[in-house]
Amino acid sequence: MKIEIRHLSKRFGTVEAVSDVSFAVEEGELLGLLGPSGSGKTTVLRIIAGLETPSTGDILIDSVRVNDLPAQRRNIGFVFQHYALFKHLTVFHNVAFGLKIKKWRRAEMAQRVSDLLRLMGLEALADRYPHQLSGGQRQRVAIARALAPKPSVLLLDEPFGAVDAKVRQELREWLIRLHDDLNVTSLFVTHDQEEAMEVSDRIIVFAKGHLEQIGSPADVYEEPATEFVARFIGSMNILEAKVTNGKAKVGSMEFPVSEFPDGQQVQVGFRPYYVKVSEDPARFRQQARLRHVYFLGVAYRLEIETDDGVILRSRMNKEEYRQCKFEVGQPVSYAITHFRILPQEGKPGAFLQPPQPPESGPFTP
């Protein structure tokens, strides 16, 4: 079902945890709420579930305002960060809990629970107690329990925050498959940008209680609407510069920004893979020194210090890296192939433009 949030704000004492947030979740969508801790994303989730009351604003589920509906009548499935399983009940009875409350018939209840346990790959564990399960199994029990009463919406608070990295990866893929199978409208909260990218149909980025951007993972990554999003999602080199004669200058680097007036302070941003580095000093015009090489598994991250003392991060895939014979400390040449001017803080999207190559002169080989 569709969820709509309108001008939602929540104050705890003097702290404004959520301020004037509006967005909609479409039927069947898997939406990620992404932000650092304390950004208000969990509060939004809890308000939708009815576990917190908003200070102002409306929550609509299927076009019906549910502000005054208590949590137990919203028909929402909620998966808590630390599972919150009932320790005194077996896996079976944990999953059956919501059905018992809703007075399902015994036979139908048993059928529904065993169907869900099979779907979750938990059928062999039906008689176990939560403390006899692994983290990943507990999480799946929690999801099965939330899904059992056929909720109209599934909310997940940091669903994979408490399991180790390998299990987390399995659970992510499993959640995507589950969502494809069941197609229940789902929102999940995470502080892990990779997780948000991988799992979500769309991402909402939160910072300090504000909604910073909403869009597909590719949109948010390629076209960050605010400086915060640019800094938070993925890795980015960000340089401060003042525009003079239509160019933003940082040391010997020059970025053509003719659409900005002279004297304007701008932030130039570029992803590490737009920084090309060569061990051949003649390959590119700009000169630097290789400070560090980090092995990332699928790629390498290079940290170079330009002759002007600016530190830049570059990313290279394995093949590229192997062709160059790098040694830490050696002089290198580099070029920046694409850049963008970041939108300024407090003016979301004000200076948004697609990444463009600084084709005119200084950076091309």
Partner 1 sequence: MRKLLIAIVWLYFGILLIGPLAYLCRQAMSDGVAAFWGEITRPEAVHGFKLTTEITVIVLVLNLIFGTVTALVLARQQFKGRTLLSGLIDLPFAVSPVIAGFMLVLLFGPETLLGMFFGALDIKVLFAMPAMVLATLFVTFPFVVRELTPVLQTLGKAGEESARTLGANEWQVFLKVTLPAVRWGLVYGATLTIARAIGEFGAVLVVSGNVLLLTQTATLHIYQSYVDFNYVGAYAVAMVLIVVSFAILTVLEVARVRATAGDS
Residues of this chain that interact with partner 1 (CB under 8 A) are 49-51, 70-78, 80-82, 84-88, 97-98, 101-102, 131, 142, 145-146, 148-149
Q: Which lies closer to partner 1 via its Cβ, residue 13 or residue 309?
A: 13
How far apart are alpha carbons 332 and 182 in whole angstroms? Answer: 53
Strands 210-215 and 64-65: unpaired
Neighbours of 197 (CB within 10 A): 19
Question: Least distance from C-beta 27 to partner 1, angstroms?
Answer: 20
CB neighbours of 312 closer than 8 A, spacing ≥ 6? 237, 275, 288, 303, 304, 305, 306, 334
Q: Which lies closer to partner 1 via its Cβ, residue 80 or residue 273?
A: 80
Question: Least distance from C-beta 101 to partner 1, angstroms?
Answer: 4
Backbone φ/ψ region at 347: left (φ over 0), alpha (ψ -120 to 50), beta = beta
Q: Which lies closer to partner 1 via its Cβ, residue 1 or residue 76?
A: 76
Phi, psi for 272 (deg, rounded to 5): -55, -30
Neighbours of 27 (CB within 10 A): 12
Question: Least distance from C-beta 152 to partner 1, angstroms?
Answer: 12
How far apart are alpha carbons 311 and 237 in whole angstroms? Answer: 9
Question: Least distance from C-beta 97 to partner 1, angstroms?
Answer: 6
How far apart are alpha carbons 220 and 203 in whole angstroms? Answer: 7
Question: Least distance from C-beta 51 to partner 1, angstroms?
Answer: 5
Question: Least distance from C-beta 117 to partner 1, angstroms?
Answer: 17
Instruction: Select from 361, 318, 317 the least CA-distant residue to 336.
Output: 361
Q: Which lies closer to partner 1 via its Cβ, residue 70 or residue 331?
A: 70
CB-facing half-sphere around the CA of 141: CA atoms within 13 A: 32
Q: Which lies closer to partner 1 via its Cβ, residue 82 or residue 347?
A: 82
Question: Least distance from C-beta 293 to partner 1, angstroms?
Answer: 44
Q: Which lies closer to partner 1 via its Cβ, residue 96 or residue 248?
A: 96
b (16+ CB within 10 A) / e for 291-315 = eeeeeeeebbbbbbebeeeeebbbb
Q: Which lies closer to partner 1 via its Cβ, residue 98 or residue 272?
A: 98
Residues written for the chain: 365
